[in-house]
Amino acid sequence: MSDEQQQVRVRVEALAPGFAAQAAEWAARLGLPLAGEAEFALQLGDAGLQLVDLGPQAPGPVRVDLVEGAAAHRRKFGGGSGQMIAKAVGVQGGIRPRVLDATAGLGRDAFVLASLGCSMTLIERQPLVAALLEDGLARAQGDFEVAPIIARMRLLTGNAIALMSEWQGEAPQVVYLDPMFPHRDKSALVKKEMRLFRPLVGDDLDAPALLKAALGLASHRVVVKRPRKAPIIEGAKPSYSLEGKSSRYDIYPLKKLEA
Known binding residues for S-adenosyl-L-methionine are 108-109, 124-125, 178
Which residues line the annotated binding site? Answer: 108-109, 124-125, 178
The tally of CA atoms less than 13 A away on the side-chain side of residue 87 is 12
Exposure string (b/e) for 155-172, b if CB count within 10 Å is 16 or more?
Answer: bebeebbebbeeeeeeeb
User: Is-contact 158 212, C-beta < 8 A?
Assistant: no
Distance from C-alpha of 120 to C-alpha of 110, rounded to nearest angstrom: 7
234: number of Cβ within 10 Å: 10
Distance from C-alpha of 18 to C-alpha of 171, rounded to nearest angstrom: 42
Residues in the chain: 259
Phi and psi at 7, nearest 5°, equal -65, -45
Distance from C-alpha of 122 to C-alpha of 103, rounded to nearest angstrom: 7
- DSSP letter at 81 equals G
